[in-house]
Every structure is written in C-alpha cells, then in structure tokens.
Amino acid sequence: MSGQGRKMENKGHILMKRYELGKLLGQGTFAKVYHARNLKTGQSVAVKIIDKEKVMKIGLIDQIKREISVMRLVKHPNVVQLYEVMASKSNIYFAMEYVKGGELFNKVAKGRHKEEDARKYFQQLIAAVDFCHSQGVYHRDLKPENLLLDEAGNLKVSDFGLSALLESKRQDGLLHTTCGTPAYVAPEVINKRGYDGEKADIWSCGVILFVLLAGYLPFHDSNLMEMYRKIRKSEFRCPQWFPHEVRKLLSRILDPNPFTRITVARLMENAWFRKGFKQIEVADLDLDEEDFPRNIFDAIDSDSEGCSSKGKEEKKKFPRLHSLNAFDIISQSPGFDLSGLFEKDLKNKAEVWFTTEMPPSQIVSKLEKVASMESFRVKKKDGLVKLQGSKWGRKGQLTIDVEIFEVTPSLHVVEVMKSAGDTLEYRRFCDQELRPSLKDIVWTWQDNNSSTIEEHLQRQPEDHGLNLKAY
C-alpha cells in the first residue's frame, strides 16, 4: 500500500472530511476494516479500505463494482447496510453499518445453540436471503463468518463480494462461476454444470442451521474430495438431540437434487420455522435518497484525488419536466427499438407507458387519488411521482415510479415502472387498479403498441413542428 494509503489508516485520521478513523476491526489480503465516527452525525460506522492498486492488478475491480451494485439493492434489517462509497487515487472506501456483536462464527465455535436461539437466527437469515433473492441477488458465500450480530443479538448478513446479480445468468438461466466455501457449498456448484443461485443459497442456509444446532459441520473430512463426495450424496447424520421436525426440514433443504429441494417460500410455511416468527419491522424507504450514482464507478477507475457517492458535485438534479424528442419517440416504436444498445436486462424491466392529452397537474391529481384508494404514500418531485405501498410483503414494499414526459404541449407520455417489491403484485396493481382508475384520462396504453405517439403527431403536426418522416 502506498505511503499515502498508510497515512490514511492512522488512528484518528480524518477520512475525506467525513469520518474519523478508529481501531482496526479486521483485515484481509486487499482490505482493512476500521471502526470510524461520522463527523457530522456522530454515528459509528465501519469503514472498509480497499487497496485500489492491488485489486486492479489482479482484475478484481469489477467484483468491487458488483459488490456496490448489490449492496445498494439489499436494504433490509438483517443485511449490513452500505451508507457511502468513496474513492481516491490509491484507495476505495466503503462506509458501512457498524455491527458491534461480531461474527456468528465466534458463538458457533463455543458449541451448539439452544433450539430457540438457532431458530431465531435461522428465521432472520432466511428473511434476509428471501429479500435478496427478490431483488435478483444471490449471495453465494453464506456461512457463519459472514453473519454478524448486533448489540440486540439480531443477525446481519454481510460480505457480498462473491454475490451475483440476476443479469449474471447465462442463456440457460443458470450461474456458472464456482465459488463459495467448500463445507457450505451446494452439490450442483461442485458439479460445474450450472446452478440456480436461489437453490444454492438455500443449501448453504441448511448447513448453517445444522451447525447452529449441532456445533459442528454436517459434511466434514480432512480429504477435500471425500468431503465433496459426501456433499454430492448429502451423506450426513443428525445428532440424537435434533427435534423430529428439524430432521425432516433438513432432509428437504439438504436435498442433493436442486429441482426437488425445498424453496424459500415453502420453507417459510414450515411449522417449525414459523414458531415465534415475527413479521420483520422495516423502516420506510427514503424515497429522496440518491444512492451511489454511476459516476462513483468512474471515480474508482480514475486516478482522481477524492470522490464520494454523497458529494454535492455528484447529486443528480431533476428537470422540471422531461421532453421527448423525435429520437425518443422513434426508439419507442417496436420496429426501431434501440434500447438493447443501452439496457442489459430488458426481460426483467417491469414498466408500461401510456399517452394522455391531459396536463401534468391532472395526471398527478389522478395518481394521488389512485394512491389514496390503495394506501400508497405519494412523493412528488418535478416530473417524477413515487408511489410507495404501506404493506411489507415477501419481496419488500411495492414502490412504483411514475414519470411524465412532454411530447408536445397537448400530448404527454407517462412511464410507470416498478422500482421495488414483487413483480406479480405490481402487475396485479397495474391491471386491476391503475388501468381502470385512469381510463378517463388515458388515450392509449403503450406496453403492447408504441405506434400511437406517431399517429398523434401525424394527426396534429401543427402542434409540434416535427416531421417524423424526416427522421
């Protein structure tokens, strides 16, 4: 690490004019983690300092970027939160939630847990993993060392360095990178023929449950190949003190066939799992928060001296009302769909469009009425309206972004897009609530046919002064 990097790590050093560094909490090959204090709020945080030169030299910079992308998606009470990302010429800094209780591994190392304690940790683990999966995130390295405990004894999933996003799947719909910790890895990952990230994570959770209740691993051998053989055959034996319900549940979780292995949804319906299970209290999402803009990645790649994902220079300014030019209009037409040049994962985009001849004020008023009927909270900013559901479901709170674009003074296009929550719930809301409620202001919906904008412009050329044929 450079001299400057070493200087930055001195206890009491002020980092980026934001954090005062404290004691060293832990370190690895490429990073060190320090306790720190936010100078503005006084909040305790953990600051992870990553040596940029080292990670670039061995080609891990994309993994760092992926970890940032993942952690901004998984805001859950049982997941360690990433507050801020900063970068300098020599280092990358993560300011994260400080979890004071340390690793669950330290407790496991002392012996087995009581059934009630093991179940509580397992419930919180599954709740966190289920939420991650709902956001298209697969952890791929779940183990007691990556599970932290806060002061109240609540579990927090950490270390998303080996995680994968939905877009990482190949055309066969599977992940193919062999990763994880041998004793916790699923048999299909070892087989190297592709695997479902959800099913692989479920297997790891089963191993963790066994360890919590037994105090030792279900699959263990000094010979790695012999251990892999046991994993492939799911060759393990439950201790006599395991309750009958746990034995049955583990046989369904540690099923070597991923196609018949229990799903998270079914697992959460299990009677043993549900005993004492409480609905997780989740704070409202901060709809005004500006998370880790794209240019923090530019700063990571560059040699610039100091850049933050929260810096004033980074903040995105919302225009009053976006306008659509002829290029935008043509790009909405099925025959000229250029979105593939810019979007990586079109199949997973949950959005629809509609056109209307109503002014923005009436559009927003109508949306507010729909929101009040469905118990949605509404936040408005310029041409953007956010609707946030009051209920917390299996995949989080349903949050919908509605953006209004001006094509001409007499024509507006409204984009409706799910930004959080369950896609099926979103589609049900659109089909059963939104469409019927907006039918008196909508000219036509654009999710299946995008030619009507052009038809409108050709019908009223004097309104806009654009000749589409010229484009």
DSSP string, 271-308: HHHHTT--PPP-PPP-TT-----THHHHHHHS--S-EE
Question: What span, in angstroms and rounded, lies between the C-alpha atoms of 298 and 436?
Answer: 44
Catalytic annotation on 440?
A: no
φ, ψ at 19 (rounded to 5°): -130, 140
CB burial of 38-72 (b: ≥16 within 10 Å; e: otherwise) equals: beeeeeebbbbbbbbeebeeeebbeebbbbbbbbb
Start-to-end CA distance of the chain, whole Å, equals: 54
SS3 411: strand
- Please report, for residues 109, 206, 214, 351, 356, the alpha-carbon distance to residue 211 in angstroms, rounded to integers and kept in the order given: 10, 9, 5, 43, 59
Of 64, 59, 17, which Cα lies nearest the Cα of 300? 64
Burial 300-323 (b: 16+ CB within 10 A, else e): beeeeeebbbbbeebeeeeeeebe
To the question of whether residue 469 is assigned a binding role by annotation, the answer is no
Instruction: Choose, from 51, 130, 141, 422, the residue flagged as catalytic.
Output: 141
* Rounded Cα–Cα distance for residues 379 and 307 (Å): 29
Residue 293 and residue 85 in contact, taking contact as beta carbons nearer than 8 Å: no
Binding site residue list for ATP: 48
Catalogue the active-site residues. 141
